[in-house]
Amino acid sequence: MRRFFHAIRLIAVLAGAAAAVLLAVALTAQPVFAQGAYYELYLGTSSGQIVETSHPAIDKLRYPTVGESVRYEGDRLSELCKAYRAEVVFTETAGDVVNYYLYSPMLGAGVFLKEGYINLHIALSHGQTAAGTPLIFGGF
């Protein structure tokens, strides 16, 4: 009878550990940004593969991601800077797109560009905002 209760306790401990691991994985797979017009995930070990998704939380569990981006209608620069406590490192304009390269203590390490580490990229153009981490890949 002791062996039976010992086995039951062992199974309960293992089930609890598995549940904790699954919870940790699910929490790290949460999308960085609120859902917008569309959401993209950057897969693999680089930004080489971009996948548009309407279910980023599920897809982040299924695929290894190295970044993500979203598009919104309107100018969301101030809102995003405040939400992520982000500081502008530098800006640049390319055509009619204004790019803001920022660092947020709430996001990962990022990449080093020009003047410092960047882990949040926000672009504004034609009444739309694109936000990506660590950068926006593809076009806007």
- Binned at pLDDT 50, 70 and 90, residue 51 comes out as confident
Is the model's pLDDT at 27 over the cut of 50?
no
Mean pLDDT along residues 7-33: 64
Burial of 139 (0-12, 13-18, 19+ CB in 10 A): exposed
CB 56 within 8 A of CB 133: no
Average pLDDT, the chain: 84
Longest dimension (CA), the chain: 77
Residues 6+ apart with CB under 8 A from 35: 54, 56, 70
Among 133, 140, 120, 129, which Cα is nearest to 69's?
133
Task: Answer whether 38's CB lies under 8 Å from 52's CB.
Answer: yes
Domain ranges of the chain: 31-133
Mean pLDDT of 26-42: 73
Residue range 18-25: average pLDDT?
A: 54
